[in-house]
Amino acid sequence: MTDNPNSEQAEFWSDGGGLDWVTFDTQLDELFAGVNAALLRIAKPKPTDTVLDIGCGTGATTRDFAAQTAQADGIDISTTMLAHAQKTAPTNTTFTRADAQTELLPADHYDHLVSRFGVMFFDNPIAAFANVRRALKPTGQLTMACWAPFKQNPWFTIPRFIATDLLGSPPPFDPRAPGPFAFADTDYALGILGDAGFINAAVQTHDIPLSLSGNAAHAAKLSSYIGPADSVIRAMNGTAADKAKIIAKTQEKLRDYEQNGTVTVPAKIHLYTAKNH
Ligand SMILES: C[S@@+](CC[C@H](N)C(=O)[O-])C[C@H]1O[C@@H](n2cnc3c(N)ncnc32)[C@H](O)[C@@H]1O
């Protein structure tokens, strides 16, 4: 932990990573539509409910919950992604720049805390979950989607292994450090939720196909810009030419998943739930 918590993440998500996310916003929302459907199915919000979307990014999950509830608020540390979210905000949503770990949120306010891949990036996850839990009503529920292990997700393994074959591997990374797979270990994540004061923490691993209309070339570009292949390219100072090679090889592999103008890649995603105390 640093004096200025989550400052590296704020920079990454407001600059390079966040800019890419905004560029590919429409495709990412199509790709992850099944994750939002699972979150809604599990959270079962009522029309009168209030929802806080943690790490809302460009706001797709906030908007999907807003369509079924009284109010959905998104918080995020990225100025870039929030600016994009605000362009298409329904009247019953707000999008606010806030660090989920430290922001003073209204106490006992929300019926639901939800997140699609927005909770794995905290310097101090116990502090962050304890902080957002205070904003949950005593009867409220947390429902969040996090990636299952990297090796179970070909959307990531395919471009990442192509990138490391070409550029070499970056130094080993603490699997629990902030990053997309920080909550892949379910015992660890359930422990964090318990230490943060949640009760009845549970997880189910879902098979949720990631589908993207268009051909393998289209999907290869997206999978090489967002996620572990991009991390390898950044860490190993890969060039634009390296990136082009990685995209071309990823395209060859993704052809196996292309059918009738859609690329569909299987994925394993942990859906965690927990209640307030
Ligand atoms: C993988 S993106 C997911 C974005 C969005 N939930 C989606 O599924 O499209 C992770 C998001 O978490 C946000 N984030 C990371 N650390 C955060 C923090 N401490 N507080 C609030 N948001 C954070 C990032 O800015 C980014 O928007």
Q: What is the pLDDT of residue 18?
A: 83
| Angle (nearest 5°) at CA 215 between 214 and 216 | 135
Across 221-226, average pLDDT? 87
Q: Which atom of ligand 1 is nearest to the CA of 119?
A: 12
Residues in CB range of 177: below 8 A, 6 or more apart: none
Is 20 or 85 the better-scoring residue by pLDDT?
85
Q: Cβ < 6 Å from ligand 1: which residues?
A: 6, 9, 13, 28, 32, 55-58, 60-61, 75-78, 81, 99-101, 116-118, 121-122
Rounded-to-integer distance, Cα 54 and Cα 73, Å: 9
Q: Which residue has the higher pLDDT, 263 or 3?
A: 263
More confident residue, 8 or 125: 125
Sequence-distant (≥ 6) Cβ neighbours of residue 209 within 8 angstroms: 34, 264, 265, 266, 267
When the pLDDT of each residue in the chain is averaged and rounded to a whole number, the result is 94
Question: What's the confidence (pLDDT) of residue 5?
Answer: 85
Q: 119-131 in b/e burial notation, b at 16+ Cβ within 10 A?
A: bbbbbbbbbbbbb
Residue 172 has pLDDT above 80, yes or no: yes
pLDDT of residue 227: 76
Q: What CATH class does 7-151+172-208+268-275 carry?
A: alpha beta
- Distance CA(13)–CA(205), nearest Å, equals 27
Q: What is the average per-residue pLDDT within 37-58? A: 98
Residue 76 C-alpha to ligand 1 middle, in angstroms?
Answer: 6
47-65 burial code (b ≥16 CB/10 A, e <16): eebbbbbbbbbbbbbbbbb
Residue 254 has pLDDT above 90, yes or no: yes
pLDDT tens digits, residue range 114-133?
Answer: 999 999 999 999 999 999 99
- pLDDT of 264 > 80? The answer is yes
Cα(127) to centroid(ligand 1), Å = 16
Q: Whose CA is nearest to atom 21 of ligand 1?
A: 76
Query: Residue 277 pLDDT more than 80?
Result: no
- Please report which confidence band the pLDDT of residue 3 belongs to, taking 50, 70 and 90 as the band edges: low
Query: What pLDDT is attached to residue 1?
Result: 45
If you write DSSP's letter for every residue of 119-169 in order, what string do you get? SS--SSHHHHHHHHHTTEEEEEEEEEEEE--GGG-HHHHHHHHHHHHHH-P
CA–CA distance, 114 with 45 (Å, rounded to integer): 11
Residue 26 has pLDDT above 70, yes or no: yes
The pLDDT of 16-44, averaged and rounded, is 94
Q: Is the pLDDT of residue 44 over 60?
A: yes
Highest mean pLDDT among 23-27, 131-135, 170-174: 131-135
Where are the domains positioned within the chain?
7-151+172-208+268-275
Atom of ligand 1 nearest to the CA of 14: 25
Mean pLDDT of 174-178: 91
**Lowest-pLDDT range of 101-110, 178-187, 203-212, 219-228:** 219-228
Residue 117 CA to ligand 1 center (angstroms) comes to 7
Q: How confident is the model at residue 196 (pLDDT cuts 50, 70, 90)?
A: very high
**Percent residues over pLDDT 90 in the chain:** 86
